[in-house]
Amino acid sequence: MRERLRVAMVGIGFMGAAHSQGWRVAPRFFDLSAPPTMDVLVGRDPDRTAAAAEKWGWRESAADWREVIARDDVDVVDIVTPGDTHAEIAIAALEAGKHVLCEKPLANSTAEAEEMARAAEAAAARGIRSMVGFTYRRLPATAFARQLIADGRIGEVRQVRASYLQDWLVDPGSPMTWRLQKDRAGSGALGDIGAHAIDMAEYLTGLRLSRVSGLLETFVRQRPIAGSSSGAISGGSSVGSAEMGEVTVDDAALFHGRFTSGALGTFEATRMATGRKNGLRVEVSGSKGAVAFDLEHMNRIEFYDGTVPAAEQGFTSIIVTEPEHPWVSAWWPAGHMLGYEHGFANQARDFVEAIAGDEDPSPSFADGLHVQRVLDAVEQSSHADGAWVGIADASE
């Protein structure tokens, strides 16, 4: 075990900034067994990558991820690229003996995710660790809610209601982006934010979905291509003076499911929820109580204890900022709120400690594969007019 873990990150977009914040801050607030160093930032555009490296605090930049993962002075590869590149980069990095953190969803298809899970399993036998970046698991409020459910405070889980609502595509004039291309993103709202709703429902309850029935819809099927170049968008056409690109993914996903325990779940993921900016909400109802989490109020949960006298019953708002709550003791005094960016530092902390402790981190690539199978099952169901589709690994 080296004294420090030398990190290379592939990707310079929005998630690149978020992960950079996590790597930069984690060793300054947590007493880490193997503090990470931000060594190499990798991106296709040398100038943009160099500027991002300087801004975010990376020691150097590079344009070829293959050359970077072949280097002896890199221990960890963090993948924050579009989904169509996840499998190739992750498998190559694992085979090169690098620990891998990969953003969700794990891949663009079940076949790719299966390859990644196999590579991760083989690497784990050599002491090489891998993890999927479902960062909302690293919020103190969601971890505390999971603890309450695991401790039996709400009794038997009966129903889960999970939704992730955004509105950044409501305007039909919003330009094309890689997130609207199936060959780049795999799916639309379903994989982009629906994956979070699925993972959070299963993380909180400790249950797995066994079958689903769903519906996908694309409301705006063509969008203007930013700038004058049409080469980046396949299937482009011209409408009036604006060059248009074909949207090949869903704008909204609605589905319901059954968990292995028999509990029921309802799910919604949309980027067309007018007025909603980043609204992830999950509510779990049990035989003795309920727990709810809302990302727009991320430092608290709502807890209902059905075992107290009727006159005392009602949802209680718990502010999750006490030192006893997960990760909080490393941060601020009680009542001083954490933000979106803290989840990435908590994630970096947990990944580093798993590597240093020679333990498999969670969520694993196998967990990411399971979510991918759920996503694919929802898409299959939509193509079959909402027919029920089983999840292959539900009983594992």
Residues 98 and 221 in one domain: no
The CATH number given to whatever domain includes residue 321 is: 3.30.360.10
Residues 282 and 304 in one domain: yes
Domain limits for position 213: 137-339+371-389
Residue 344 falls inside a structural domain: no
Instruction: Identify the band that residue 240 occupies on the pLDDT scale cut at 50, 70 and 90.
Output: low
The pLDDT of residue 396: 66
Q: Which residue has the tokens 């007493």?
A: 31
Kindly state the percentage of the chain with pLDDT values over 90: 94
- Report residue 15: phi and psi, to 5°: -70, -25
Q: What is the pTM of this model?
A: 0.94
Average pLDDT over residues 120-137: 98
Q: Which residue has the tokens 């960016």?
A: 341
Residue 396 falls inside a structural domain: no
Residue 347 falls inside a structural domain: no
Residue 385 has pLDDT above 80, yes or no: yes
Classify residue 68 as exposed, middle or buried by CB count within 10 Å of its CB (0-12, 13-18, 19+).
Answer: buried
Residues 41 and 120 in one domain: yes
The pLDDT of residue 184: 95
Residue 239 has pLDDT above 90, yes or no: no
Residue 12 falls inside a structural domain: yes
The pLDDT of residue 68: 98
Residues 113 and 240 in one domain: no
Average pLDDT over residues 230-254: 72
Residues 320 and 232 in one domain: yes
**And the tokens for 123?**
């690497």
Q: Which of 93, 108, 136 is the last residue of a domain?
A: 136
The pLDDT of residue 230: 42
Instruction: Identify the band that residue 3 occupies on the pLDDT scale cut at 50, 70 and 90.
Output: confident
Instruction: Identify the band that residue 245 occupies on the pLDDT scale cut at 50, 70 and 90.
Output: very high
The pLDDT of residue 232: 42
Residues 151 and 161 in one domain: yes
The pLDDT of residue 226: 86
The CATH number given to whatever domain includes residue 65 is: 3.40.50.720
Give the whole-angstrom CA distance, residue 232 versus residue 236: 9
Residue 354 falls inside a structural domain: no
Average pLDDT over residues 268-284: 98
Average pLDDT over residues 309-335: 97
Residue 241 has pLDDT above 90, yes or no: no
Residues 186 and 107 in one domain: no
Residue 124 falls inside a structural domain: yes
Residues 167 and 227 in one domain: yes
Average pLDDT over residues 33-57: 98
Residues 114 and 162 in one domain: no
CB neighbour list of residue 74: distance below 8 Å, 6 or more residues apart: 6, 7, 8, 39, 40, 68, 98
Q: What is the mean pLDDT of the chain?
A: 95
Average pLDDT over residues 338-343: 98
In tens, the pLDDT along 70-85 reads: 999 999 999 999 999 9
> Considering its fold, how many domains does the chain have in total?
2
Residue 345 has pLDDT above 70, yes or no: yes
The pLDDT of residue 242: 74
Q: Which of 293, 284, 300 is nearest to 152 (CA)?
A: 284
Instruction: Identify the band that residue 231 occupies on the pLDDT scale cut at 50, 70 and 90.
Output: very low
Residue 23 to residues 31, 144, 194, 201, 365, Cα–Cα distance (Å): 13, 24, 26, 27, 21
Residues 99 and 114 in one domain: yes
Residue 175 falls inside a structural domain: yes
Q: Which of 91, 115, 136 is the last residue of a domain?
A: 136
Residue 238 has pLDDT above 50, yes or no: no
Q: Which of 136, 160, 185 is the last residue of a domain?
A: 136
Q: Which has more pLDDT, 263 or 234?
A: 263
Instruction: Identify the band that residue 394 occupies on the pLDDT scale cut at 50, 70 and 90.
Output: confident
Reported as half-sphere exposure (CB side, CA atoms, 13 A), residue 311 has a value of 0
The pLDDT of residue 280: 98
Residue 1 has pLDDT above 60, yes or no: no
Residue 252 falls inside a structural domain: yes
The pLDDT of residue 234: 42
Residues 149 and 83 in one domain: no
Residues 92 and 178 in one domain: no
**And the tokens for 334?**
């009680």
Instruction: Identify the band that residue 206 occupies on the pLDDT scale cut at 50, 70 and 90.
Output: very high
